């Protein structure tokens, strides 16, 4: 790592992530980046999320403040993160997100007492109400936007060209005038996003996000210019307020962990397992679907069989306890496959030399982490804007392939044959080789972007120059 730029040194920044892992992890990385520049950082969280935050920021001087999480009718006590919700069904998600606005008085009490004065705050798009507090205290608010510029651009174009409310059938390919080389269907977009009924909680919530974003100081994007120049340019031109592309944020902790001093106990067993695969020179497919995804039992069984029959080595993270596997499965695959049910350090796995492919739901953080690690993606989107991300991965950036669904549709069921075919293509095929070359080039570009003189570093410098 080169010299650390001095912009912003001595100033104070407040970060307030939304309570889900995918929204929290990147802001923890931002905290680390700012701290390295001698900027004081206050991170706002809630009691049940404190330990995750404290562990992640262990060894830093970040100050972590907890505000009480509000009670809400259908949210069980102690559930303060969307990955802990009994279901990701939208009514519960909206109740959870809406409940956060009751934190506003506590948040404002905090703003009154914070010293030194906060130069700017970065708060999640979902915490739209923080804009009002920011205005009251005359603190610039940057909105953390956990989407690629590609997805943002397509959402904006789709909305302004009215294709989402047009007469085309849901599954028919349509063309976006501004991006004629991209063909997509209505079902590439989230149902809530397509639904034009202004009385639904989803519509109301999205409008609040959009309106409060427009009135904010800027948007902070976890991407880098070289990855998606056309779309960064589009967003810069068409989107208000100004966007600042400062990613990949995950590069904040991109040094290989060392388990030295013979303290093998500390090394997670899956890392030992990966080390063994490296010794055998066998390449591993890492399979994980983020912290939120819900997968049917039937679908899970097809994944299990597909991985088994593909004959590739795999490390599969199954997060939800209720995800059962076929009887005797783990024993049967144990020579080449390992199933993990704990929280893993995903960046550490992706960085391991034996990992040569990532079967991923294409959550934006996972895509950025895979690109940064130079690992090609087998895309299997599940919800939200993951379908757009998967399209981007395959068609635009060309660092992966989407799994073949049984009927070829965007949201179709995936059978073991389709999974097997795509996995083999990426892990062993000629296409896979091309994807690997491309993703490794981009990984280098990502590193350069975050170093002094690189695009993301310069963008962060100019943001700090303007605000601190």
Query: What residue ranges bind ligand UDP (CB under 6 A)?
Result: 21-22, 25, 125, 147, 152, 155-156, 189-190, 193, 206, 209-210, 213, 239, 290-292, 317, 343-346, 363-366, 369, 384-385
How far apart are alpha carbons 192 and 203 in whole angstroms?
7
* CB-nearer residue toward ligand UDP: 190 or 356: 190
* CB-nearer residue toward ligand UDP: 107 or 145: 145
Which residue is closest to ligand UDP by CB? 22
Smallest distance, ligand UDP to C-beta of residue 389, A: 9
Smallest distance, ligand UDP to C-beta of residue 380, A: 12
How far apart are alpha carbons 33 and 218 in whole angstroms?
19
How far apart are alpha carbons 20 and 28 in whole angstroms?
12
Smallest distance, ligand UDP to C-beta of residue 287, A: 12
Smallest distance, ligand UDP to C-beta of residue 190, A: 3
Smallest distance, ligand UDP to C-beta of residue 291, A: 3
Smallest distance, ligand UDP to C-beta of residue 9, A: 28
* CB-nearer residue toward ligand UDP: 384 or 463: 384
CA–chain centroid gap for 361, Å, is 10
How far apart are alpha carbons 311 and 333 in whole angstroms?
9
Torsion sign (Cα): 397, 398, 403, 407: positive
Structure-block tokens of residue 111: 């703003």
* CB-nearer residue toward ligand UDP: 322 or 335: 322
Smallest distance, ligand UDP to C-beta of residue 372, A: 11
ω into 241 cis (within 30 of 0): yes
The helix/strand/coil state of 292 is coil
* CB-nearer residue toward ligand UDP: 164 or 468: 164
* CB-nearer residue toward ligand UDP: 162 or 281: 162
* CB-nearer residue toward ligand UDP: 93 or 120: 93
One DSSP character per residue, 292-306 reads T----HHHHHHHHHH
Q: Residue 13: enclosing H or E segment and its boundaries?
A: strand 12-16
Smallest distance, ligand UDP to C-beta of residue 207, A: 9
Neighbours of 64 (CB within 10 A): 17
How far apart are alpha carbons 352 and 64 in whole angstroms?
31
Rounded to the nearest 10°, the torsion over CA 250, 253, 258, 263 is: -100
Closest CA to 124 of 212, 11, 42, 240: 212
Smallest distance, ligand UDP to C-beta of residue 21, A: 4
* CB-nearer residue toward ligand UDP: 7 or 380: 380
Give the largest CA-CA distance in the chain. Answer: 66
Q: Residue 400: enclosing H or E segment and its boundaries?
A: strand 400-402
Half-sphere exposure of 458 (CA within 13 A, CB side): 7
* CB-nearer residue toward ligand UDP: 217 or 364: 364
Q: Are 274 and 395 in contact (CB under 8 A)?
A: no
Smallest distance, ligand UDP to C-beta of residue 419, A: 19
How far apart are alpha carbons 464 and 317 in whole angstroms?
38
The angle formed by the CA atoms of residues 455, 457 and 458, to the nearest 5 degrees, is 65
* CB-nearer residue toward ligand UDP: 69 or 189: 189
């Amino acid at each position: 790592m080169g010299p650390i730029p001095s912009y912003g040194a001595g100033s104070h920044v407040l970060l307030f992530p939304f309570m889900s892992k995918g929204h929290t992890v990147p802001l923890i990385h931002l905290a680390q980046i700012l701290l390295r520049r001698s900027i004081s950082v206050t991170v706002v969280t809630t009691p049940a999320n404190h330990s995750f935050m404290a562990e992640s920021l262990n060894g830093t001087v970040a100050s972590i403040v907890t505000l009480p999480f509000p009670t809400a009718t259908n949210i069980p006590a102690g559930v303060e993160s969307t990955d802990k919700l009994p279901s990701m069904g939208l009514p519960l998600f909206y109740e959870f997100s809406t409940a956060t606005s009751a934190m506003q008085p506590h948040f404002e009490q905090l703003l009154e007492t914070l010293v030194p004065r906060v130069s700017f705050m970065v708060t999640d798009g979902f915490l739209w109400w923080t804009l009002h507090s920011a205005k009251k205290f005359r603190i610039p608010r940057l909105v953390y936007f956990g989407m690629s510029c590609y997805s943002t651009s397509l959402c904006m174009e789709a909305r302004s060209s009215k294709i989402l409310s047009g007469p085309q059938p849901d599954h028919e390919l349509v063309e976006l005038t501004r991006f004629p080389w991209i063909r997509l269907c209505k079902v590439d977009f989230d149902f809530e996003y397509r639904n034009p009924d202004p009385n639904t909680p989803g519509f109301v919530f999205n409008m609040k996000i959009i309106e409060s974003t427009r009135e904010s100081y800027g948007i902070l994007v976890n991407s880098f210019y070289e990855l998606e120049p056309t779309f960064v340019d589009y967003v810069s031109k068409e989107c208000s307020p100004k966007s600042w592309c400062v990613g990949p944020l995950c590069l904040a902790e991109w040094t290989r962990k060392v388990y030295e001093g013979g303290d093998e106990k500390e090394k997670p067993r899956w890392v030992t397992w990966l080390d063994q695969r490296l010794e055998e020179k066998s390449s591993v497919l890492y399979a994980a679907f983020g912290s939120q995804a819900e997968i049917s039992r039937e679908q899970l069984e097809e994944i299990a069989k597909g991985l088994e029959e593909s004959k590739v080595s795999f490390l599969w993270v199954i997060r939800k306890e209720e995800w059962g596997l076929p009887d005797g499965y783990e024993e049967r695959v144990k020579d080449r496959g390992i199933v993990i049910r704990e929280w893993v350090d995903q960046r550490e796995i992706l960085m391991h030399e034996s990992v040569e492919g990532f079967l991923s739901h294409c959550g934006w953080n996972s895509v950025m982490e895979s690109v940064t690690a130079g690992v090609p993606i087998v895309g299997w989107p599940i919800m939200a804007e993951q379908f757009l991300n998967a399209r981007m991965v395959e068609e635009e950036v060309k660092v992966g392939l989407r799994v073949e669904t049984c009927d070829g549709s965007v949201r179709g069921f995936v059978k073991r044959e389709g999974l097997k075919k795509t996995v083999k293509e990426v892990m062993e095929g000629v296409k896979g080789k091309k994807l690997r070359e491309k993703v490794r080039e981009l990984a280098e570009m990502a590193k350069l972007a975050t170093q002094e003189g690189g695009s993301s570093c310069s963008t962060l410098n100019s943001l700090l120059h303007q605000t601190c």
